[in-house]
Amino acid sequence: MIPINAPRLGEEEIKAVVKVMKSGFLTHGLGAGPVVTKFEKAFAKFVGAKHAIAVNTGTSALHLAIAGAGIKQGDEVILPSFTFVSTAEVIAIAGAKPVFVDIDPETHNISPKKVEKALTKKTKAVMPVDLYGLPADMQPIKDIADKHGLTIIEDSAQAHGASYKGKPVGTFADAACWSFYASKNMTTGEGGMITTNNGELAEKMRFMRSHGEKEKYKSLMLGHNYRMPEIQAAIGCVQLKKLPKFLAKRRENVKRLTAELGKAKNLQLPKEPKGCKHSWYLYTIRLKGPKGNKRDKIVEALRQKGIGAEVYYTTPIHLMPYYRKFGRYRLPETEKAAKHVLSLPVHPGVNTKQTGFISESVLHLVG
């Protein structure tokens, strides 16, 4: 089976982990161990941010950003429904209301026009998602946020190495949240990061990361246990150095797939809008016309051939049982996409022969 994604780990990561284990220093009471701090500084530099706060998961990063921004009960946060559930989950955990809006059918990212129409007096923040690794259209979103005094928390969990208008994703947000889950473009096994240029927000999130403590056993505010262990950070330091090569290999695989799949009339292929650089976490195609109704059968046929095709996301969040209580939403583009998209493997472990096999198999099924 050619998996949809696979971590690329080598001797360097193993040596880094063993070094931490031999040191006996596995974690830090305030989450600021030496290896974690090294990883934070390196990641902040990579994405061009002043501050980076390492945490134990991408979901923790999102929640810490929401909590740090002061989102509370009675507030509303606008976000797309076509994303992983954690984006909405952290809003609900804060006691706020997730307000779902539709997507652009070409990019599958949140529609800035829909964001503006969803504004109310209770709106406090916007959470755009860089879906599949493609940056959201941040300039109009920032214009809206600046006009109405809103916080922007960017879910960049899938966008390591992506850029928008020549700048790393997260630049146009008050805070950007990243995931280092095993499937991501770089991994720490589990893990996350928040990056920001706001020093006051960064300090607050560092306290909240470890029980609201500035010093051990002196809690200043309500917090959580979201610390990243030293072992995870050690893996992250190595993976970050390898990330440029990982991204280059993904781009090569995408280029080959696109050249072949462009022959099919029944497919909408992923694009890079002007000013955007995709990280290609996922290569997501969309079936058009009558073939769209056969998406699930095509996915199953690809799997039977040993190709790990996947569907992200089969059920939009606004249609999930728990989230229906936040209102009834009509999101036609979101619901169409959920029925017609599928993702193909392009990770660095996929070789030239395999990309040829993938494209040949897809063309045979949709031709």
Active-site residues, by number, are: 184
Token pair, residue 187, equals 């991994």
Rounded distance between C-alpha atoms, residue 231 and residue 18, angstroms: 9
First-to-final CA distance of the chain: 23
Residue 10 identity (one-letter amino acid): G
Calculate the CA dihedral of residues 37, 28, 232, 35 and round it to 10 degrees: 30
- How many CB atoms lie under 10 A from the CB of residue 357? 16
